Amino acid sequence: MGCGASTNNSEEDTIERKRNQRIEARAKAAQKKNEAKIKMLLLGAGESGKSTIFKQMRILYGAPRTEDEIRMFGVVVRSNVVVVVKKLLTLINDMDLEDTLVQESEETSRIDGESGMSYKEAYDELKEAFIDNPDESSIHTEEPSTDWVGYSNRAGSNANKEAKKFLKYQFCLKTLWESKAAKEAWKNGAKVNINASHMLFLNDSDRLASPTYKPTNEDILLARVRTTQVIVERYMMGDSMFEVTDVGGQRAERRKWIGCFDNVDGLIFVAALSEYDQTLAEAKRQNRMKEALDLFKFNANDNVFSRSGILLFLNKSDLFEEKILTSHIADQKHFSDYVGPDRDYHAGIEYFKKKFSECVGENSGKDIYIHVTCATDTNAMEAVLGAARLMIIKQNLANAGL
């Protein structure tokens, strides 16, 4: 009996030992795989376009979005239109353009359309619903059962309420947007931090209101969703696995950044070129570009990134090119040292490149790779991200002494 028990114990020990060996082998393989991935961190101030770049990576290298995700963006797009119209109404009021609307309405008598609604009538109805009496409980309009977007729990209750408002008042906002007064107010959009890209939504509101509307990749890229949490995605870019982290850029979200700084191989800092004449949504007296410069200086010189490749994306170049035609760089107190010609896109680009380059200490030994980007241009971003991938891999090899 004693011999039998000893044999059984020996067999059990062998089984246990082999099981432990398999666990250890899997753990080592997982560790090796984790060490092989390249960790990339996206930083920048709020509304700089970080999350758009993050979405581009998903389009270029990730899995296709589910219908649930696409529906969520449909709700967000519609709610974005309501947000921009609210700001437009404020501008029209602040700029005393109501009389202009009255005059336009009289000149055109009645614009074409079944409702026969004038520009001023559209403005008054929107102002009542969006500004003076914004009571969502008064909106009883249900999305038609055939509406593809419908309601999205993922979008949140507020976005869904705003999307309902869009559907109810779409003809009003379309009518108002056709007026010269609305276009005049739009030129001053920087004063109320209007998202300039959302002009495309206003131009295409009929499509967005259609029951068959399904957001395109461009809609998803333009959709504004504030990042309030740390989001991590993994993508195969070429032969390398990249782990990309996106974090909120608003001041209230930056306390979360510190937990993402460990073992970063590549830092992509995003700054919006077009925001040189705008202020922060959370701090109205702080210039957005000045905030971006300060943030970049702090992070680029942080020792935690001493061995990381650093890329600077000067984003929203398309909006910058439009804006400098009417808003001069030197008129902003933080950039009064600009001596280049007004309305010169290339001179403006070089000026801000120099501003950011000066943020890095001359003796730091760090190379900063600067790319001028339009994050909504998928083809251009594919080339930029490809260059970024090669730069980060090259930096990793250099750190390894190879």
**pLDDT tens track for 219-272:** 999 999 876 678 888 888 888 888 888 876 555 555 556 656 667 888 889 999
**What is the tens place of the pLDDT at every residue in 170-228?**
999 999 999 999 999 999 988 888 988 999 999 999 999 999 999 999 999 999 987 66
Average pLDDT over residues 9-33: 63
Residue with tokens 């589910």: 66
Q: How many domains does the chain have?
A: 2
- Cα–Cα dist 132/51, whole Å: 33
Is this structure's pTM higher than 0.85?
Answer: no
- Cα–Cα dist 210/208, whole Å: 6
**What is the tens place of the pLDDT at every residue in 34-89?**
446 888 888 888 788 888 998 999 999 999 999 999 999 999 999 999 999 999 99
* pLDDT higher than threshold 80 for residue 24: no
Domain-located, residue 23: no
Q: Going edge to edge, which strands form the sheet with 309-315?
A: 231-237, 240-246, 38-44, 266-272, 309-315, 368-372
**pLDDT of the residue at 21:** 67
Residues 392 and 247 in one domain: yes
Residues 217 and 237 in one domain: no
DSSP states of 142-210: PPPTT-SS---GGG-HHHHHHHHHHHHHHHHHHHHHTSHHHHHHHTTGGGGT--GGGHHHHHTHHHHHS
* pLDDT higher than threshold 60 for residue 316: yes
Are 143 and 121 contacting, i.e. CB atoms less than 8 angstroms apart?
no
Average pLDDT over residues 288-308: 87
Are 220 and 74 contacting, i.e. CB atoms less than 8 angstroms apart?
no
Domain-located, residue 231: yes
Domain-located, residue 313: yes
Residues 205 and 261 in one domain: no
Residues 356 and 289 in one domain: yes
* pLDDT higher than threshold 50 for residue 300: yes
Residues 79 and 218 in one domain: yes
**pLDDT of the residue at 9:** 64
CATH code where residue 184 lies? 1.10.400.10
**What is the tens place of the pLDDT at every residue in 107-121?**
876 545 445 789 999
- Cα–Cα dist 293/180, whole Å: 36
Domain-located, residue 312: yes
Residues 108 and 170 in one domain: yes
**What is the tens place of the pLDDT at every residue in 83-96?**
999 999 999 999 99
Q: Last residue of a domain, which of 191, 222, 253?
A: 222
Instruction: Give me the domain span that covers residue 268.
Output: 39-64+227-397
* pLDDT higher than threshold 60 for residue 164: yes
Average pLDDT over residues 271-292: 89
Are 243 and 40 contacting, i.e. CB atoms less than 8 angstroms apart?
yes
Domain-located, residue 85: yes
Burial class (CB in 10 A: 0-12, 13-18, 19+), 36: exposed
Residues 296 and 187 in one domain: no
Domain-located, residue 4: no
Sequence-distant (6+) residues with CB within 8 A of 364 are 301
Per the model's pLDDT, the better-predicted residue between 18 and 224 turns out to be: 224
Q: Mean pLDDT over all residues of the chain? A: 84
* pLDDT higher than threshold 90 for residue 355: yes
* Residue 122: how many other CB atoms lie within 10 Å: 25
Sequence-distant (6+) residues with CB within 8 A of 290 are 334
Q: Classify 116 in phi/psi space as left (phi over 0), alpha (psi -120 to 50) or beta.
A: left
Segments of 247-298 assigned E as strands: 266-272
Residues 117 and 249 in one domain: no
**pLDDT of the residue at 233:** 87
Residues 309 and 356 in one domain: yes
- Retrieve residue 30's tokens: 């997982």
Domain-located, residue 8: no
What are 39's strand-pairing partners? 243
Q: Last residue of a domain, which of 222, 238, 256?
A: 222
Domain-located, residue 20: no
Residues 187 and 294 in one domain: no
- Angle made by CA atoms 13, 19, 23, in degrees to the nearest 5: 140
Q: Last residue of a domain, which of 178, 206, 222?
A: 222
Cα dihedral 321, 327, 331, 337 in deg (nearest 10): 10
Residues 233 and 199 in one domain: no
Residues 300 and 383 in one domain: yes
Percent of the chain with pLDDT over 70: 82
CATH code where residue 361 lies? 3.40.50.300
Per the model's pLDDT, the better-predicted residue between 281 and 246 turns out to be: 246
Instruction: State the pLDDT confidence band at 390, using cuts at 50, 70 and 90.
Output: confident
